[in-house]
Structure 1
Amino acid sequence: MVQIGYAMMTEQAGPRELVEHVVRAEEAGFDFSVTSDHFFPWLESQGHASYAWSVLGAAAQATSRIPLMTYVTCPTLRYHPAVVAQKAATLQLLSEGRFRLGLGSGENLNEHVVGCGWPTVDVRQEMLAEAVEIIRELFAGGYVAHHSSHFDVESARLWDLPDRPPPIGVAVSGEWSCELAGRLADLVIAVEPKAELLEAFDRHGGAGKPRVGQLPVSYDPDRAAAVRRAHEQFRWFGGCWKVNAELPTPASFAAATRFVRPEDVAGAIPCGDDVADFVEAVRPYVEAGFTEVALIQVGGDAQHGFLDWAQQTLLPALRELPGR
């Protein structure tokens, strides 16, 4: 049976509200949670971008059962990998073993703020692979020294280490990232239900490891309101990720999506309160071989209604989907 997760989107709610939402998600019976790690929202209409790691620390204390995970952190520009390792180890301790570290090569939208420029995709992948290796070495304990063209680490050591380091997930979108994930990760992360991504992950060493997907949904008893909210805040989601990774500001995403119509968004994101539409949106992930699927309810002010409906109606229906 596929596990169903709840997404804390730092782009669409403030930090106190995010913690409140994940507490309610735990009560509603979600199997796990994920948290975005952004410096900017995708569109100004989303209106938020709090610091994910502070939110996660608060969530670790406010919850007791639900697993936590970054979806995803870029450990190469805005954060140095040694600092990411320290943050992740601390979260694992605070959550008493409920944290997973999701990593990816990042987006210009969030990483440009430190003024280091935006590398080409091949360089970003090289940096990500090196960052994962540094983080793993620090998780193993002892002092770490590392010097290369991308990163320097000088006599680093994590003084507060959990007994079980956080599992590391790597986000994938093509053959190169699948090779990296299969070789270096404990689980794979994707935002598209493409079986070929999981097959490539398996070919490179990922067979038998968890595979986590994510998709947006827009619940509302008023379907027109659900469509309107999805269009206002999530019309960027249907864009090619090769493009989404390159755009530098919310204004860029607004310009790139100016011709996307509400009906286009409604065709890609389940909107309204027909549970069958939501089940059918999750089904391709299950059929592709994903073992976990995290749902993003669009709209920071629409979470409580969604969570109540999910507990009563959606989660029981999704649990009927057979896993692979």
Structure 2
Amino acid sequence: MADIGYTMMTEQAGPRDLVDHVVGAERAGFDFSVISDHYFPWLGSQGHSPYAWSVLGAAAQATTRIPLMTFVTCPTTRYHPAVVAQKAATVQLLAQGRFRLGLGSGERLNEHVVGGGWPSAHERLEMLEEAARIIRDLLAGGQVNHHGSHFDVVDARVWDLPSQPVPLGIAVSGEESCALAGRIADLVIATEPKQELLEAFDRHGGGGKPRIGQLPVCYDTDRDAAVARAHDQFRWSLGGWRVNAELPGPPSFAQATEHVRPQDVADAIPCGDDLDTFVEAVRPFAEAGFTEIALVQIGGAHQQPFIDWAEKTLLPALREL
């Protein structure tokens, strides 16, 4: 059975709450955790977007067992890859080997804030590959100089390096990103249970490496309340990544999803407290070959009831898959 993870969704909770939530997830027996790295929430109703790397530092100190991971950081625009390498090394030291660095090509939503325009999808992947190689070189130790198509690094060195390497993951959505992940990543990340993504990853060198998926859920003993909350805060997820990577801010996502109905969201996201519904939503990831599946409980104020239910009911059932 795949490992089951917990998502610190920075778009829907403040920094202290996020740390409390992952402490609760560790206590409940989740196998790993991931954190989103955003500058904006998708929709204004989510209401938050603290700095993920500060939360990771606090989470590393507040927990002892649960692995931590960015899901995902864009190392090309808002952050320079040399800075991402330093951050990853520091969190790995704080977490004593429990950290993995998930990387992606980003969304305009978060990256436009530093100016400079928004590159095409193909150029973003080129930038991601160059950035990932810089990060690997810096995490390997020594002094790095790099003058590439997109980045310059001059006499850089990460002084505080962990003894445990930082595993590097790449988020994928199609053949080109799968090829990139297969070439340079230690693990692959996806948000859809598409077996063809994993097969493409394998074709390009990913065979035998971990593969991590993510699934939004909305637990509540009142199913109608769960559906309403999922519609209010997560209807953006129905747009698909070709759309979601291009929109510039929460008002754009609100306008783009104004005709999405609550029933549309309920058809895509398990809502309520019916155990079989949640298990069947996870099953496609397991059957596609994902080795780890991170759950996103929708609603920042509704984490602890979900964590309690997961500990007693959901996690034991998922481990029977």
Superposition TM-score, scaled by structure 2 size: 1.00
Look up the equivalent residue of 1:53 and give its one-letter code: W
In structure 1, the residue matched to 2:221 is 221
Aligned letter for 1:79? Y
Q: Distance in 1 between matches of 2:4 and 2:240?
A: 25
Counterpart for residue 50 of structure 2: 50
Matches for 1:301-312 after TM superposition, within 5 Å: 301-312=301-312
Which residue identity does 1:14 align to in structure 2? G
Output the CA distance in 2 between the equivalents of 1:17 and 1:260.
30
Alignment of 1:187-198 (within 5 A): 187-198=187-198
Match of 2:313 in 1: 313
Mapping of residues 242-281 of structure 1, within 5 Å:
242-281=242-281
Determine the C-alpha separation between the residues in 2 that align with 1:166 and 1:214.
21
Displacement of 1:22: 0.1
- TM-fit CA distance, 1:240: 1.6
Distance 2:148 2:2 in 1: 41
Separation in 1, partners of 2:146, 2:179: 23
What is the aligned partner in structure 2 of residue 168 from structure 1? 168
| 2:181 corresponding residue in structure 1 | 181
Aligned to 1:96: 96
Q: What letter is aligned with 2:262?
A: P
SS in 1 for 2:11: coil
Amino acid at match of 2:196: E
**Offset of 1:239 from its aligned partner?**
1.1
Q: Match for residue 146 of structure 2? A: 146
Aligned AA (1:198): L
Matched, 1:40 2:40: yes
1:87 paired with 2:63, answer no
Corresponding position of 1:72: 72
Write out aligned runs for 1:114-129 (5 A). 114-129=114-129
Instruction: Name the aligned partner's letter for residue 25 of structure 1.
Output: A
* Distance in 2 separating the partners of 1:275 and 1:36: 26
Separation in 1, partners of 2:185, 2:86? 18
Tell me the amino acid that sits aligned with residue 246 of structure 1. Answer: E
User: What is the CA distance between 1:233 and its match in structure 2?
Assistant: 0.1
Aligned to 2:112: 112
Q: Is 2:12 aligned against 1:19?
A: no
Map Cα deviations across residues 65-84 of structure 1 (whole Å, 9 max, x no partner): 00000000000000000000
Identity %: 75
Partner of residue 6, structure 2? 6
CA distance in 2, matches of 1:121, 1:214: 22
1:6 is paired with a residue whose SS is: strand
Question: What SS is found at the alignment partner of 2:10?
Answer: coil
Q: Spell out, residue by residue over 1:90-129, the C-alpha distance to the aligned partner (whole angstroms, 9 max, x if none).
A: 0000000000000000000000000111000111000000
* Aligned counterparts of 1:153 and 1:170: Cα–Cα separation in 2: 22
Q: How does 1:191-206 map to 2 (within 5 A)?
A: 191-206=191-206
1:11 alignment partner, SS class: helix
Quote the Cα distance in structure 2 between the aligned partners of 1:71 and 1:149: 26
Computed over aligned residues only, the root mean square deviation of the Cα atoms, in angstroms, reads 0.4
Instruction: Provide the rounded CA distance (Å) in 2 between the counterparts of 1:161 and 1:86.
Output: 8
The CA distance in 1 between the partners of 2:240 and 2:67, in whole Å, is 29
CA distance in 1, matches of 2:192, 2:236: 14
Unaligned 5+ segments in structure 2 are none
Unaligned runs of 5+ residues in structure 1 are none
**Counterparts of 1:87 and 1:116, CA distance in 2:** 23
1:149 is displaced (CA, Å) by 2.2
What residue number does 2:207 align with? Answer: 207
Match of 1:60 in 2: 60
TM-score (norm 1): 0.99
SS at match of 1:212: strand
The farther-off stretch of 60-69 and 235-244 is 235-244
Provide the rounded CA distance (Å) in 1 between the counterparts of 2:232 and 2:4. 25
- Per-residue displacement from partner, 1:119-167 (whole Å, max 9, x unpaired)? 0011100000000000000011000000122000000000000112210
Q: Which amino acid aligns with 2:131?
A: A
Deviations 1:32-82 (CA, angstroms, capped at 9, x unpaired): 000000000000000000000000000000000000000000000000000
For residues 205 and 14 of structure 2, the distance between their equivalents in structure 1, rounded to whole angstroms, comes to 39
Q: Which amino acid aligns with 1:99?
A: F
